[in-house]
Amino acid sequence: MMVSGSNFLQDFDITWGDGRGKIVNNGEFLTLSLDKYSGSGFQSKNEYLFGKIDMQIKLVPGNSAGTVTAYYLSSEGENHDEIDFEFLGNLSGEPYTVHTNVYTQGKGEREQQFHLWFDPTADFHTFSVLWNPQTIVFSVDNTPIREFKNLEKIGVQFPKNQPMKLYSSIWNADQWATRGGLIKTDWTQAPFTASYRNFNAEPNNKPWMSQRLDPISEEKLKWVQKNYMIYNYCADTERFPQGFPPECNA
């Protein structure tokens, strides 16, 4: 099954938010909103075991400090696997922070954070996850920003057995989201709204099931990590005084 030219009514359920999540234009668009009473969220009706998943998202414009818009794949249960994008809001004019993480068997703590090289609130941009048995690649407008390779051969767990649904939500996280919680949500700016369109999920019998980064993509990845990465758990010596996790040195 290929989900293309997607219809949010067919592909997703609004799961919480008491009317703050909306599917509009006959299923072509979806919006999630946050006010001081509640955020909102949705999840996919389908589960995916491996996937190439794209979504065009336009993030909350203006002063979005204190807000988090999460977009992620996750299995269920306490030993869950998860592939995370989280977008941490900003004071107007400051860059958004894109927070990424990978969980295997309930364990995460593999954070990398980036700024973007464009304003993600001015227009829609494509945020993608490629997940196959060899690798997980996070991409923005087809530019890879992070790769998490399958390194089971050196004892690093890799998500490969638990099907995941796609989720997104927006909520208030002003105790930590913006500058570590120094900047609080300005509720006079509410409602805060993120917009979604053009979801695409390809089935796992396609060429991408064996895809790896080609040399051009490797160069793009290095460019992003050199110029736009602002946090990498694999460089945080205070956090890992006994030495970095094995995947950091692979």
- Coil, strand, or helix at residue 244? coil
pLDDT confidence of residue 178: 87
**211 phi and psi angles, rounded to 5 deg:** -70, 140
**Helix, strand, coil distribution of the chain in percent, nearest 5:** 15, 40, 45
Q: What is the dihedral of CA 218, 220, 222, 223, to 10 degrees?
A: 170
> What rounded mean pLDDT belongs to the chain?
94
- Active-site residue among 47, 86, 152, 202? 86
- 5 falls in which pLDDT band (50, 70, 90)? low
**SS3 (DSSP) at 66:** coil
pTM: 0.95
Q: Residue 51 carries which side chain, given as an amino acid letter? A: G
- Strand, helix or coil at 34? strand
pLDDT tier at 49, thresholds 50, 70, 90: very high
241: amino acid identity, one letter = P
Q: Check residues 132 and 202 and name the one with the higher pLDDT.
A: 132
- The verdict on whether 82 is a catalytic residue reads yes
Report residue 154's pLDDT band, with 50, 70 and 90 as the boundaries: very high
- Written in H, E and C, the secondary structure of 158-225 is CCCCCCEEEEEEEEECCCCCCHHHCCCCCHHHCCEEEEEEEEEEECCCCHHHHCCCCHHHHHHHHHHH
Question: Does the pLDDT value for residue 4 go beyond 80?
Answer: no
Residue 74: which pLDDT band, with cuts at 50, 70 and 90?
Answer: very high
Mean pLDDT value of segment 137-154: 98
In degrees and rounded to multiples of 5, residue 128 shows phi and psi of -130, 150
Q: Which of 47, 76, 82, 147 is catalytic?
A: 82
Measured distance CA(245)–CA(250) in Å, rounded: 10
pLDDT at residue 205 greater than cutoff 90? no
pLDDT band at 207 (very low <50, low <70, confident <90, very high): confident
15-26 residue pLDDT tens: 999 999 999 999
Catalytic-residue membership of 218: no
Per-residue pLDDT tens for 208-232? 999 999 999 999 999 999 999 999 9
Segment 148-166 shows an average pLDDT of 97
- Residue 3 CA, chain-centre distance (Å), reads 19
Task: Examine the pLDDT at 204 and tell me if it is beyond 80.
Answer: no
